[in-house]
Structure 1
Amino acid sequence: MLASSRQRYTAAVHAVASVAMVASLAGTAAAQTPRFQLELEAGPAWISRNVVQIPNNATATRFSLNEVTGSGPWPAGRAYFTWNVNERHGLRALAAPLSITETGRLRIPVSFAGGSYTASAPVEATYAFNSYRLTYRYQWRNTERTRLWVGFTGKIRDATVQLAQGSVSTRKDDLGFVPLLHVAGEWRTASNWQLGTDIDALAGGPGRAIDAAVKLGYDPRGRFGVHVGYRTVEGGADVDEVYSFSWIHYAVASLVWRW
Structure 2
Amino acid sequence: MKKNIIYLLVFVFIPFLINAQAFVDVESGLAITGYNNVKIPAEGGTAFSLAAETPSGPVFVTRLRIGYTFKQHHTLSILAAPLTVEGNGTIDNNVIFQDKTFLSGSNLTSRYRFDSYRITYRWDFIKKDDLLAGIGITAKLRSADIALMDDTGYAHREDLGVVPLINFRTEWFFYDNFGILLDGDALVTPFGRAEDINLAVMYSSNNNVKYRIGYRLLEGGSDGGGNVYTFSMFHYITAGVTLSF
In structure 2, stretches of 5+ residues that fail to align are 1-19
Tell me which structure has the larger Cα radius of gyration. Answer: 1
Q: Distance in 2 between matches of 1:251 and 1:79?
A: 16
1:160 to 132, 139, 145: 145
In structure 1, the residue matched to 2:191 is 206
Residue type of the alignment partner of 1:93: I
- The answer to whether the 8 Å contact 2:39/2:48 transfers is yes
| Structure 1 residue 176 displacement after superposition | 0.4
Indicate the residue corresponding to 2:78 in structure 1.
93
Partner residue, 1:120: 105
How far residue 128 of structure 1 moved from its aligned partner, in angstroms, is 0.3
Structure 1 residue 190: deviation in Å? 4.8
Q: What is the distance in 1 between the residues matched to 2:222 and 2:230?
A: 6
CA deviation profile, 1:235-258 (whole Å, cap 9, x unmatched): 000125100000110000012211
Q: Segments of 4+ in structure 1 off by > 4 A?
A: none
Contact 2:56 2:88 in 1 (8 A): no
Contact 2:56 2:87 in 1 (8 A): no
> Amino acid of the residue matched to residue 158 of structure 2?
D
Question: Are the equivalent residues in 1 in contact too, given 2:56–2:86 (CA < 8 A)?
Answer: no
Deviation at 1:113, TM superposition (A): 0.1
In the alignment, what sits opposite 1:63?
48
Structure 1 distance, partners of 2:179, 2:23, is: 16
Q: What's 2:119 paired with?
A: 134
* Greater percentage in strand: 2
Alpha-carbon displacement from aligned partner over 1:38-94 (angstroms, at most 9, x marks no partner): 11101111111100000100x210110113431521111111112112212110111
User: TM-score scaled to structure 1, two decimals?
Assistant: 0.84
Over the matched positions of the two proteins, sequence identity in percent amounts to: 32
- Contact 1:35 1:86 (8 Å CA) reproduced: no
Cα deviation per residue 1:176-218 (whole Å; 9 max; x = unaligned)? 0110011111001452111111020000111000010111111
Q: Point out where structure 1 has 5 or more consecutive residues left out of the alignment.
A: 1-33
Equivalent pair of 1:67/1:106 in contact (CA under 8 Å): no
Distance 1:40 1:69, change over 3 A: farther
Q: What pairs up with 1:15-54 in 2 under 5 angstroms?
A: 35-54=21-40
In the other structure, the counterpart of 1:81 is 66
Q: 96-105 or 207-216, which moves further after superposition?
A: 96-105
2:213 is equivalent to residue 232 of structure 1: no
Aligned residue for 1:248?
234
Q: Distance in 1 between matches of 2:91 and 2:186?
A: 32
Q: Distance in 1 between matches of 2:124 and 2:52?
A: 44
Aligned to 2:166: 181
TM-score by length of structure 2 reads 0.88
Q: Compute the displacement of 1:101 (Å).
A: 2.1
- 2:52 partner SS: helix
Aligned residue identity for 2:36:
N
| SS, match of residue 219 in structure 1 | strand
Partner of 2:15: none
SS of the equivalent of 2:206 reads coil
Structure 1 CA distance, aligned partners of 2:87 and 2:216? 23
> CA separation in 1, counterparts of 2:29 and 2:188?
27
* Residue deviations 1:104-156 (CA, integer Å, cap 9, x gap): 22232100001110221211111000000000111110112100111100000
Give the match for residue 5 of structure 2: none
Amino acid aligned to 1:49: Y
Give the superposed CA RMSD.
Answer: 1.3
* Structure 2 residue matching 1:102: 3-state secondary structure: strand
SS of the counterpart of 1:72?
coil
